[in-house]
Structure 1
Amino acid sequence: MPSHIMLSYQWDDQALVKKIHDRLKDDGLPVWMDIEGGVTGNINDSMAAGVEEAVVICPFMTPAYQASRSCKKELNYADTREVIIVPAMLTNNWEASEWLGLITAGLLWVDFRNAQKDEEHFEMCLRSLEEEIMFNAGHLLAVEEPQREQVDQPEPSKPHLKKKPGRGFRHALSKLYIHESGEQIIPPTEDSRNTVELNETAGDHCYWVEIKGDGCKYYRNVVTNRYLGFDPSRNQVHSEVSPAASEEWLMLVDLTDQSHQRAVIMKNKHSGRFLAVHNGHFIGLTSYNEDCKWFLE
């Protein structure tokens, strides 16, 4: 049975990926890297076994990775085996294209640009990677309690990694969460839409299961099982029992953000509007500004 997280990288980035490998291992995640005992005997057989035993593969994307025949073989093989792909971006002002762009299209990559700026940046990038891995495959991985050395004054222990029930969306400026109220819109619409509100605190009603659609994603509330939607005619966010065109979303990495806090942009596919918050209220904007930034939690 597949059991580990495979790190796929181009040789120039080995030092950074080795550092990531060591930290993932320290935090209790089963991780595989070629230079850490992953390759024995025939290199092609070993790399194939690395893919075949992978629950998740993390490609560390750079122009050199895209140009590498070996990296292409690894990721193509993982894709054909339907291994979960959690990409990480290492390069500023560049985006994947050709075969790499095709395989990673629509996937939310983790921002490791400028990760080596300082240790604080690296820690935030690492935490984002761990959270994205756990979101996608936490139910498939055997995560161990991190082993900590006994010292006179131990450091505060990190929370044990566990899979969250869904995605939480916190607005970057207002700090408010997307919250399913469970209350019907008054006056009721023909399709019995419920109101979706902004809430100051996170809770179960603020988590949304991500479901892949045809060139889009749907978000279903973990408590009410209703789907997040947007009505441009009312400039109103709502939920419905079953997904339709107004519940189709595109979620993109916010390329302008340098905080490494998993910043994303949510765009309603049907209306073309960016989901934003202004003066404490939802609003749909035709072009991006800072009101459109959300952090994943």
Structure 2
Amino acid sequence: MPSHIMLSYQWDDQALVKKVYDRLKEDGLPVWMDIEGGVTGNINDSMAAGVEEAVVICPFMTPTYQASRSCKKELNYADSREVVIVPVMLANNWEASEWLGLITAGLLWVDFRNADSEENFEMCISSLQEEIMFNASHLLAVEPPSEQVDQSEPPKHHLKKKPGRRFRHALTKLYIRDSGFTEGELEQVPHSDGDTRNTVELSETAENHCYWEEIKGNGSKLYRNVVTHRYLGFKSSSNQVCTETSPSVTEEWLMFVDQTDQSHQRAVIIKNRHSGKFLAVQDGCFIGLMSYNEDCKWFLE
């Protein structure tokens, strides 16, 4: 049975990847790295076994990673086995292309481009753990934190899967919240005009109505509220964000990493596939913009 997180990297980045390995292991995640007992005997057999027993593979992406035949074989094999891929970006002013761009297209990469200081590294590790847990916590055996011996150290956190993604607007700090009814409650509420939409609002507080389950569609993503089980949509003509009981083209979204962000948080841009507009907030209200600016930035929580 697959059981671990595999770290896939090019040799030049071994020191950083070893630091990531140690930190993930310290927090109770089952992690595999070639120099930490992962390779014994024939290297090709060992690397194949590493992939075959992987729940998640984290490629540490750089131009030299993309140029490496060994890295290409590892990630292609993992992709063919449908291993969850959580990419890690190490290179500034560079985008994956060719085979690597094809495999990682549409995936959210975790930003390690400036993980040089301890503070930045901790924020990057937190983002990586969040993305791993979001995608594969149900497949991983996470060890509980060990007894804290040194009382001067902050207590270790226990990694847990969150019910979904929360979107917090970077400038206003407001969350996307479905304010409507659950499916059961909706059946009891008359709609004289036949309108089945729920209102979506911006909330100062993070609560269960602010969690959205991510469902992969055909080249896009759907976001279903974990409380109401309704799908997030955007009506371009009225700049209205709402939810529907069943998805249509207006509920299809594209999500990208905001490559300009330097905060080391999980900064993303959300684009409605049907309208081509970026989801933004201006003057405390939702708005769709045809071009990206700071009003379009969201943090994943």
Same-fold call, TM cutoff 0.5? yes
Q: Alignment partner of 2:18: what SS? A: helix
Q: Give how far 1:145 is off.
A: 1.6
Match of 1:67 in 2: 67
Uncovered stretches (5+) of structure 1, i.e. residues with no partner: none
Quick one: which amino acid aligns to residue 164 of structure 1?
K
**CA contact under 8 A between 1:115 and 1:125: conserved in structure 2?**
yes
1:77 and 2:77 aligned: yes
Match of 1:290 in 2: 294
Quick one: which amino acid aligns to residue 138 of structure 1?
S
Distance 2:126 2:113 in 1: 14
Q: Alignment partner of 1:106: what SS? A: coil
Q: Give how far 1:150 is off.
A: 1.2
Match of 1:97 in 2: 97
Give the total of aligned pairs: 295
Match of 2:128 in 1: 129
Q: Alignment partner of 1:137: what SS? A: helix
Match of 1:16 in 2: 16
Q: Alignment partner of 2:132: what SS? A: helix
Q: Give how far 1:148 is off.
A: 5.1
Q: Give how far 1:188 is off.
A: 7.0
Q: Give how far 1:149 is off.
A: 5.2
Q: Give how far 1:189 is off.
A: 6.2
Distance 2:278 2:194 in 1: 25
Q: Alignment partner of 2:206: what SS? A: coil
Q: Give how far 1:20 is off.
A: 0.2
1:264 and 2:262 aligned: no
Q: Alignment partner of 2:129: what SS? A: helix
Match of 1:169 in 2: 167
2:248 to 228, 244, 248: 244
**CA contact under 8 A between 1:86 and 1:132: conserved in structure 2?**
yes
**CA contact under 8 A between 1:26 and 1:147: conserved in structure 2?**
no
1:230 to 226, 230, 234: 234
1:5 and 2:5 aligned: yes
Q: Alignment partner of 1:51: what SS? A: helix
1:274 to 278, 282, 292: 278
Match of 1:211 in 2: 215
Distance 2:33 2:75 in 1: 14
Q: Give how far 1:78 is off.
A: 0.2
**CA contact under 8 A between 1:205 and 1:223: conserved in structure 2?**
yes
Match of 1:146 in 2: 145
Sequence identity percentage: 79
Match of 2:53 in 1: 53
Q: Alignment partner of 1:100: what SS? A: helix
Q: Give how far 1:146 is off.
A: 2.5
**CA contact under 8 A between 1:60 and 1:90: conserved in structure 2?**
yes
Distance 1:148 1:173 in 2: 39
What TM-score, normalized by structure 1, do the two folds share? 0.96
Q: Hey, which bits of structure 1, 4+ residues long, moved more than 2 A? A: 146-149, 186-191
Q: Give how far 1:182 is off.
A: 1.1
Note the alpha carbon deviations across 1:72-127, whole angstroms, 9 max, x for none: 000000000000000000000000000000000000000000111x1101000000
Distance 1:261 1:135 in 2: 15
**CA contact under 8 A between 2:148 and 2:155: conserved in structure 1?**
no
Q: Alignment partner of 2:166: what SS? A: strand
Quick one: which amino acid aligns to residue 111 of structure 1?
D
**CA contact under 8 A between 2:145 and 2:157: conserved in structure 1?**
no
Q: Give how far 1:32 is off.
A: 0.2
5 Å-filtered alignment, 1:102-117, equals 102-116=102-116
Distance 2:195 2:3 in 1: 44
Uncovered stretches (5+) of structure 2, i.e. residues with no partner: none
What TM-score, normalized by structure 2, do the two folds share? 0.95
Distance 1:207 1:71 in 2: 36
Q: Alignment partner of 2:205: what SS? A: coil
Q: Alignment partner of 1:233: what SS? A: helix
Q: Give how far 1:255 is off.
A: 0.8
1:194 and 2:198 aligned: yes
Question: In the superposition, relative to structure 1, how do residues 19 and 231 fare at CA in structure 2: closer, same or farther (>3 Å)?
Answer: same
Distance 2:98 2:237 in 1: 38
